[in-house]
Amino acid sequence: MAGVSPRTLHYYDEIGLLRPQRNPDNGYRVYNHSDLLRLQQILFLRELGLSLEEIHGVIDRPDFDLLQSLKTHRKALQAQKARLERLIQTVEHTIQHLKGNLEMEEKNLFEGFSEEKQKEYEKQVEQKYGDQYLNVSRQRWGSYSDEKKKQVIAEGNQVYLDLVKTMPLGPESEAAQAGIARWHQHMRYFYDPSKEIMLGLADGYNDDPAFREFFDRIHPDLAPFMREAIKVYVKNL
């Protein structure tokens, strides 16, 4: 019913996250209505990015309110829905633009990307490189005014658009390397990336679906071009 494998349910039982009653005749797990509601909460919280340990702490709190939790889930899902609808609209506009059916300003290529997206990228940095860079990023980003944040995002968008113009010259060209130097400098708005992180980002731009979706919207060859250009740049540092 929930699309959860028996193996996962068994694990939830083992760690005390979801412990159903047992059928005394055969020892099978029996999930009643309250178990299903608890499983729903687990799945909602997993969807919001919480770890199993964090979920355990939330839903076992004495003051846990199921109704309030559902209202919170609804609000988060509505926000996600609104962001996805903006992304879908941007994709549709870009398709029509590429077909020649719609004039589209360059700045509109980035509609649907927001501070929420920045937080998702921060989470990816934390998972790959630990919280050292994440803490710096949060501190720097949090110190900026709303106007400054808009300026930083706009500057970053322009860096990528200008890199597209250098693609015919090749990743080793002076123009492309100057563009990557601008990208490197732009990254310092968030943290000071090491050579390892820059190479990791170069791969992430190509391999991570969220990053690749972003770059493909600008130009389908931009992500692989940046990977090669960043490799050259790092080698020459």
Domain that holds residue 55: 6-59
pLDDT tens digits, residue range 96-106? 656 665 454 55
Tokens describing residue 3: 């699309």
Which residues are paired to 30 by β-bridges?
A: 21
26 in a domain, yes or no? yes
**pLDDT tens readout for residues 160-176:** 889 989 999 999 999 99
What's the CA gap between 122 and 127, in Å, rounded? 9
230 shares a domain with 125: yes
Q: CA 5 to CA 11: how far, in whole Å? A: 10
**Quick check: is 99 in a domain?**
no
Q: Which percentage of the chain shows pLDDT scores above 70?
A: 81
Is there a single domain that holds both residue 118 and residue 48?
A: no
What would you report as the CA-atom Rg of the chain, rounded to the nearest whole angstrom? 23
Tokens of 233: 């740049």
d(CA 134, CA 149): 17
| Statement to judge: residues 127 and 228 lie in one domain | yes
* Whether residue 188 sits in one domain with residue 118: yes
Report pLDDT for 102: 46
pLDDT of the residue at 106 = 53
Determine, yes or no, domain membership for 20. Answer: yes
Q: Does a structural domain hold residue 87?
A: no
What mean pLDDT do residues 48-69 have? Answer: 82
* Exposed / middle / buried, residue 35 (Cβ in 10 Å: 0-12, 13-18, 19+): middle
DSSP string, 182-217: HHHHHHTTT----HHHHHHHHHHHHHSHHHHHHHHH
The mean pLDDT value for 22-44 works out to 91
Written in H, E and C, the secondary structure of 74-126 is: HHHHHHHHHHHHHHHHHHHHHHHHHCCCCCCCHHHHHCCCCHHHHHHHHHHHH
Share of the chain above pLDDT 90, in %: 28
Give the model's pLDDT for residue 225.
Answer: 95
Q: Are both 144 and 32 inside the same structural domain?
A: no
**Is residue 90 a part of any domain in this protein?**
no
Range of weakest confidence among 43-57, 110-124, 149-163: 110-124
pLDDT-based confidence at residue 22 (cuts at 50, 70, 90): very high
Q: Same structural domain for residues 127 and 210?
A: yes
Res. 95: pLDDT tops 80: no
Does 122 share its domain with 52? no
C-alpha separations of 125 from 80, 211, 223 in Å: 21, 12, 18
Q: pLDDT confidence of 112, banded at 50, 70, 90?
A: very low
Number of domains in the chain: 2
- Domain harbouring 201, CATH code: 1.10.490.50
State the CB neighbour count (10 A cutoff) for residue 41.
Answer: 19
The answer as to whether 160 is a domain residue is: yes
pLDDT at 81 over 60: yes
Domain final position from 59, 76, 104: 59
In a domain, 135, yes or no: yes
CA distance 224 to 209: 13
CATH number of the CATH domain containing 33: 1.10.1660.10
- The phi and psi torsions of 30 (rounded to 5 degrees) equal -125, 115
Q: Of 59, 75, 98, which residue constitutes the final position of a domain?
A: 59
Judgement on whether residues 230 and 117 belong to the same structural domain of the protein: yes
pLDDT for the residue 116: 57
Q: Are residues 52 and 119 in the same domain?
A: no
Are both 200 and 125 inside the same structural domain? Answer: yes
Which tens digits make up the pLDDT trace of 191-231? 888 898 899 888 888 887 777 877 887 888 899 999 999 99
Asked if the structure places residue 28 within a domain, the reply is yes
How many Å apart are CA 178 and CA 166, to the nearest integer?
A: 10
What distance in Å separates the CA atoms of residue 88 and residue 139, rounded to the nearest whole number?
A: 31
What's the pLDDT score for residue 185?
94
- Nearest by Cα to 39 from 72, 13, 64: 13
36, 117: one domain: no
Within 10 A of 36 (CB to CB), how many other CB atoms are there?
14
Structure confidence at residue 86 (pLDDT): 72
Domain co-membership, 46 together with 125? no
Higher model confidence: residue 5 or residue 109? 5
Backbone φ/ψ region at 226: left (φ over 0), alpha (ψ -120 to 50), beta: alpha
